[in-house]
Structure 1
Amino acid sequence: MTDLETIVSLCKRRGFIFQSSEIYGGLGSAWDYGPLGVELKNNVKRLWWQENIQLRHDMVGLDAAITMHPRVWEASGHAGHFADPFSGCTECNRYFRSDQLDDAMKASKWVKAIEKCLGKKDPEKAVKNWAQNDGRKLGENLPFVKDTEKA
Structure 2
Amino acid sequence: MADWSVEDHDAFLQLLDEASRSRASPSETWSTISAKLNKSQEELQGHAFQYFLTLQQATLAVVEGEGGVPELRMDPPLSLPPPSTPWTPSSDAKFESLLLKYPPACETRWEKIALELGDSKTADDVRNHYGELVRDICEIELGGVGR
**Is the shorter-chain TM-score for this pair beyond 0.5, marking a shared fold?**
no
More strand by share: 1
Q: Tell me the TM-score normalised to structure 1 length.
A: 0.21
Query: If each structure's helix is expressed as a fraction of its own residues, which one has the higher value?
Result: 2
- Higher-RCO chain (CA-CA 8 Å, sequence separation at least 6): 2
Q: TM-score, normalised by structure 2?
A: 0.21
